[in-house]
A and B are shown apart, each in its own frame.
Chain A
Amino acid sequence: MSLVISQLINGLQSGSIYALVALGYSMVYGIIMLLNFAHGDIIMVGAYIAWLVIVRLSLSPVIAIILAIVVCTVLGVTIEKVAYTPLRSSPRLSLLITAIGVSFLLENLAQRIFGAGSQNVPTLISGPSLNIGGQHISFTAMITIVVSVISMVALTFLVQKTKMGKAMRAVSEDMGTSQLMGINVNRTISFTFAVGSALAGIGSVLYCCAYPQASPTMGAMLGLKAFVAAVLGGIGSLPGAMLGGFCIGIAEAAVSAIGLSVWKDGVVFAILIIVLIFKPTGILGKVINEKV
Chain B
Amino acid sequence: MKNNQKIIPMPFRYLINIVLFAAVLFLMNTLITGGTISKYYSGVISSIGISIILAVSLNVATGYLGQLPLGHAGFMAVGAYTSALIMRAVMASGFLKTAVGSVAAFPLALLAAGLVAALFGLLIGIPALRLKGDYLAILTLGFGEIIRVVLLNIDNVLGFKLTNGAAGLQKIPKTTTFLITFLCVGVTCFVIHTMMKSRHGRAILSIRENEIAAESCGINTTYYKTLGFVVSAFFAGVAGGLYAGNIGILNPSAFGFMKSIEILVMVVLGGMGSMLGSVLSASVLTALPEFLRSFADYRMIVYSLVLVIVMIFKPSGLMGTYDFSLNGLLDKLIRLIRGDRGTPGGGQSLLTKKEGGTNE
Contact = CB atoms under 8 A, between A and B. Distances in A.
A112 B306 CA distance: 17
B311 A262 contact: no
A83 interface: yes
B127 interface: yes
Interface in A108-122: 108-109, 111-112
B134 A105 contact: no
A262 B308 contact: no
> Which of A103, A109, A263 lies at the interface centre, i.e. has the most chain B CB atoms within 10 A of its CB?
A263
B304 A272 contact: no
Interface string A206-230: 0000000000000010001001100
Given A35-B138, A262-B156, A101 B149 contact: no
Contacts of B149: 262-263, 265-266
Nearest to A95: B311
B134 to A, nearest CB: 4
Given A35-B134, A101-B307, A220-B257, A90 B315 contact: yes
Interface stretch (A16-24, A139-147, A178-186, A273-281): A273-281
Contact of B146 (A86, A105, A269, A276): A269
Contacts of A83: 308, 312
Given A98-B307, A231-B138, A269-B145, A262 B301 contact: no
B311 A94 contact: yes
Contact of A262 (B130, B153, B297): B153
A289 to B, nearest CB: 12
B141 interface: yes
A231 B300 contact: no
B75 interface: no
A100 B261 CA distance: 8
Contacts of B268: 97
A40 B305 CA distance: 18
B108 to A, nearest CB: 31
A101 B311 contact: yes
B273 to A, nearest CB: 11
A246 B261 CA distance: 30
Closest 6 CB pairs of A and B: A101-B307, A269-B142, A104-B304, A105-B304, A101-B308, A35-B134
